[in-house]
Amino acid sequence: YSDNIVSPKPPQLLEQDLFWEDEELTSLLSKEQENPLFHSLETDPSLGGARRAAVEWLLKVNAHYSFSALTAVLAVNYLDRFLFSFHFQREKPWMTQLAAVACLSLAAKVEETEVPLLLDLQVEDSRYVFEAKTIQRMEMLVLSTLQWKMNPVTPLSFLDHITRRLGLKNRLCCEFLK
Amino acid sequence: MEKLLNWQYKLGKVIGIGAYGIVHRGLNLETNQIVAIKRFYTFDCKNGVPYTTIREISMLIEMYHINIVKLLDVISNTKNEWYIIFEYLDLDLEKYMYIMHQILSGVMYCHKHRIMHQDLTPDNLLIDLNASVVKIADFGMARAFDFPLRAYSPEVVTIWYKAPEILLGSPVYSTAIDVWSVGCIFAKMLMRQNLFAGASKNEHLRKIFSIMGTPNERTWPGVTSLPYYPAGLPEYYPEVISIIFASIFFYFASQEMLCMNPARRISARRALGHAYFKKKKRKEKKEKKMTILDPIEKKKKKMMMMMILDSVSFTFVVVVVMLTDY
């Protein structure tokens, strides 16, 4: 690996960004939250099953559209927080799927530069297909349930912080992060 | 005003229109607080909630800083209409750029109508935040030109903006004294501190002379025979150092912010630490103590000119004007 490889440069760490490192870390640590769903998953196997199916589907669609890793992490984060705070009827399995579509759509809108239409998101053997209007309503429900806090601290935030701090700002590292 | 159904907000006049929607002035009926209400155009369903809305709200909802606009509430109704409630702010910076122009127009109007203000200070320049205008206030010291000159003791009011001819006890003076005051205010806006600030009349005069040069019969015929012309003052030569220093700090600060190479461009943090932006809190406190305030002045401390010190464009103009003067 040498410097004269001509390639699109990843976002660079500028010298002045280093000034923030300690404050940034403090902020990350203070905002970091445990996954609230963890204990419910251990005690409630049906919830665990529904969640696993939803997450697997999310990851497939994420790969289908080549969304970044962060998009997937965000979508799962939204889904977990939503499943934890919003107690809808479990006997309606399509509700989890609807929530998953909405969460992925929201995550993509937060993180990606190009986002497919709501209808187009429902690929990779989606068990149910919802109308755009329905998904939109679910999006709003997720947004208000999560109190619009759509920028959580994720493991990737720390990874990003550490690599920047170590000065590993080369392409290889960015590729890895993706 | 249109009342929003079931909400505690009343929609007022439109204060801004953008690609996303319309911003209204509004009133919180419960708290009587004036707010800004951003009303989104109803979005089409294909894309769901627009990403701009998601990003804007989710960013702002977790930020708490005095210099970042405060998001108060997010409201949606059954008709799929979205409203974001912000704290209400009066002006955008764009409108501030005309402040110096406004001050001078006001002064010109006075002079045209044969009125001298005689007490122009930053405290006497008020800002109407709704209409974005600067207004000259406190005409307690003002007079029409025709009136006979009354005995006038400069010691009872702030002397920092007083023209030298008054301090020297000239029996006649003119609208030029207001222009001097405006000059001092300009300099203060540029330098973030008073250009001349003496504790006493004599010290103040000495400060003026030390920067602008000691006046003599050649530069100002008749000056040496004015009542308070201090004897035995050193012969100062004009120096523009203080003004230049302020301009240079400002110049460097803005140069570094406008560095084309992003890697070399100054960070916000370092720029804040720049000499030009350094707060002069301690000094200003000291200055305040030293000021002998007119009781009328004390009443209206609300809208201080200090708010607009960093307006870039006029500062450049001031620098250019000041330097070409020499």
Judged by DSSP in three states, B249 sits in: helix
- Chain A residue with minimal CA distance to B44? A133
State the average pLDDT over residues B86-107.
Answer: 75
- Please, what's the largest Cα pairwise distance for chain A? 59
Q: Which residue has the higher pLDDT, A86 or A11?
A: A86
Number of A:B CB contacts under 8 A? 71
Examine the pLDDT at A38 and tell me if it is beyond 60: yes
- End residue of a domain, out of B62, B87, B112: B87
- On whether residue B119 sits in a domain, the answer given is yes
Chain B positions in Cβ-Cβ contact with residue A110 (cut-off 8 Å): 51, 54-55, 58
- On whether residue B23 sits in a domain, the answer given is yes
Query: Do B71 and B218 reside in the same domain of the chain?
Result: no
Domain count for chain B, please give it.
2
H or E element at residue B76: strand B71-76
- CA proximity to A17, closest of A153, A175, A163: A163
State the average pLDDT over residues A11-40.
Answer: 70
Say how far apart CA A172 and CA B179 lie, in whole Å: 64
Mean pLDDT of chain B: 72
Query: Do B164 and B269 reside in the same domain of the chain?
Result: yes
Inter-chain CB proximity B267 and A16 less than 8 Å = yes
Say how far apart CA B128 and CA B106 lie, in whole Å: 14
Examine the pLDDT at B29 and tell me if it is beyond 80: yes
Query: Do B74 and B101 reside in the same domain of the chain?
Result: no
- On whether residue B290 sits in a domain, the answer given is no
Query: Do B104 and B239 reside in the same domain of the chain?
Result: yes
Say how far apart CA A173 and CA A164 lie, in whole Å: 10
Query: Do B253 and B165 reside in the same domain of the chain?
Result: yes
Query: Do B74 and B25 reside in the same domain of the chain?
Result: yes
- On whether residue B233 sits in a domain, the answer given is yes
Question: Does A117 lie at the interface with B, CB-CB under 8 angstroms?
Answer: yes
The residue annotated as part of the active site, out of B73, B90, B92, B119, is B119
Question: Does A133 lie at the interface with B, CB-CB under 8 angstroms?
Answer: yes
pLDDT score recorded for residue A166: 73
pLDDT score recorded for residue B163: 86
Give the ipTM of the model, two decimals please: 0.77
Query: Do B163 and B16 reside in the same domain of the chain?
Result: no
- Name the band, by pLDDT with cuts 50, 70 and 90, for residue A8: very low
Query: Do B205 and B59 reside in the same domain of the chain?
Result: no
Question: Does A132 lie at the interface with B, CB-CB under 8 angstroms?
Answer: yes
Judged by DSSP in three states, A56 sits in: helix
Inter-chain CB proximity A117 and B47 less than 8 Å = yes
Say how far apart CA A79 and CA A101 lie, in whole Å: 9
pLDDT score recorded for residue A37: 78
Say how far apart CA B7 and CA B78 lie, in whole Å: 13
**B45: distance to nearest CA of chain A, Å?**
6
Kindly report, residue by residue over A105-163, the tens digit of the pLDDT: 999 999 898 889 999 999 877 778 999 989 998 998 999 899 899 989 888 888 877 77
CA dist A152 to A29, A174, B289, Å?
11, 21, 48
- End residue of a domain, out of B87, B109, B129: B87
Examine the pLDDT at A9 and tell me if it is beyond 80: no
- Chain B residue with minimal CA distance to A108? B51
Examine the pLDDT at A178 and tell me if it is beyond 70: no
* Calculated CA dihedral for residues B303, B304, B306, B307, nearest 10 degrees: 0
Examine the pLDDT at B146 and tell me if it is beyond 80: no
Chain B positions in Cβ-Cβ contact with residue A153 (cut-off 8 Å): none
Inter-chain CB proximity A117 and B46 less than 8 Å = yes
Tokens of B324: 């070409």
Buried b / exposed e along A14-41 (16+ C-beta atoms within 10 A):
eebeeeeeeebeeeeeeeeeeeebeeeb
Say how far apart CA B173 and CA B162 lie, in whole Å: 12
Percent of chain B with pLDDT over 90: 0
Interface test with B, best of A109, A144, A151, A169 (most B CBs within 10 A): A109
- End residue of a domain, out of B38, B61, B87: B87
- On whether residue B38 sits in a domain, the answer given is yes
Inter-chain CB proximity B58 and A14 less than 8 Å = no
Interface test with A, best of B55, B58, B80, B265 (most A CBs within 10 A): B58
Query: Do B151 and B214 reside in the same domain of the chain?
Result: yes
CA dist B229 to A110, A146, B159, B203, B216, Å?
71, 73, 16, 12, 10
Kindly report, residue by residue over B105-131, the tens digit of the pLDDT: 888 888 887 788 888 888 888 877 766
Mark whether B119 is an active-site residue: yes
Buried b / exposed e along B93-122 (16+ C-beta atoms within 10 A):
eeebebbbebbeebbeebbeeebbbbbbbb
Query: Containing domain of residue B99, as a range?
Result: 93-277
| A101 close to A131: Cβ distance less than 8 angstroms | no
- Name the band, by pLDDT with cuts 50, 70 and 90, for residue B157: low
Chain A positions in Cβ-Cβ contact with residue B269 (cut-off 8 Å): 16, 19-20
Question: Which member of A15, A19, A110 has the closest CB to residue B263?
Answer: A15
Query: Do B125 and B155 reside in the same domain of the chain?
Result: yes
- On whether residue B298 sits in a domain, the answer given is no
- On whether residue B314 sits in a domain, the answer given is no
pLDDT score recorded for residue B60: 86
- Name the band, by pLDDT with cuts 50, 70 and 90, for residue B310: very low
Side chain identity at residue B180, one-letter code = W
Query: Do B49 and B143 reside in the same domain of the chain?
Result: no
Q: Which residue has the higher pLDDT, B141 or A14?
A: B141
CATH number, domain of B158, equals 1.10.510.10
**A150: distance to nearest CA of chain B, Å?**
5
Task: State if pTM tops 0.90.
Answer: no
Judged by DSSP in three states, A86 sits in: coil
Query: Do B73 and B142 reside in the same domain of the chain?
Result: no
CATH number, domain of B54, equals 3.30.200.20
- On whether residue B215 sits in a domain, the answer given is yes
